[in-house]
Amino acid sequence: MKLKIITFVLFLFSLNTYAAGPGFDDVTQTDLDNISKEFAANFVHRPIAPASSLGAIFGFEVGLVAGLTDASKIGEITKRTDPTESDPLDKLIHAGVLGSVSVPFGITGEVILLPEQNLGDVDISNFSLGIKWTLDSILPIPFVDVAIRGHYSSGELSFSDTVDAVNTKVSLENTTTGVTLLASAGLMIIEPFVGVGYVTRESTLAATGAAQIFDTTFTTAKSSTVDGSSAQIIVGAQLNLLFMKVGAQYESVFDTSVTSAKLTFGF
């Protein structure tokens, strides 16, 4: 049932976001780095959760997360590749089924899963996980929680494109790892939170067939890999309503802006 719901959510996003897939041709080293930054930002583990645990002994939540990532550089590359494109892809979607469980000692495990989905011209999938340690036992602060989260993600996006009059399958595989320091305040049912972190990325852009998507002064290979790192800034809030949680978050990472929301149920 949840997979049907997430597919519907993605479909609603895709009506405008993926009206056309990206277009890559004559990709330079700078282009590849910009593509990597925006895709990496989109796939970072993102549970949209404060520093607090879900319960001193036990707690869980299950639900949906979704949002949009600015992809202005990808839009510029797409427009350069095809100047006639009236609506170049300049936003990326991220979404998934979220599951989190808290156990004693302030430990919370988090998983976000998006099985492969077909959105018009684009196939997208993502898997990420995190482990959060809420430091109440060693850093007690009234009305404030502090936590450290380590996280990992793996995402893939692929699409068909016509490059030099040749039908070409283009794929982008991306992984990120990072650590984030979180702080949140329990203000009745509202729980605002902030976070700062450090995230690394590795992306591989590849094409099958006879076409060449890279600028030959950069590489003549069929695939190329780039990596990098970035500071991370998070600002968000969670609304706690009995068995339901509603969250929203803004994030800046890899020079890219990301807005996200979640709806979960649990106790």
- Summarize pLDDT for 103-114 with one digit per residue, the tens: 999 999 999 998
Q: Enter the pTM of the model.
A: 0.88
- Per-residue confidence (pLDDT) for residue 154, from 0 to 100: 97
The upper half-sphere exposure of residue 253, i.e. CA atoms within 13 Å in the direction of its Cβ, equals 33
Mean pLDDT of the region 74-83: 80
One-letter amino acid at 255 equals D
d(CA 154, CA 262): 20
- Per-residue confidence (pLDDT) for residue 7, from 0 to 100: 46
Question: Which residues lie below 8 Å from residue 256, measured CB to CB, with a gap of 6+?
Answer: 37, 38, 41, 42, 69, 70, 71
d(CA 164, CA 38): 25
216-251 per-position pLDDT tens digit: 899 988 899 999 999 999 999 999 998 999 999 999
Mean pLDDT of the region 23-30: 85
Residue 54 has pLDDT above 80, yes or no: yes
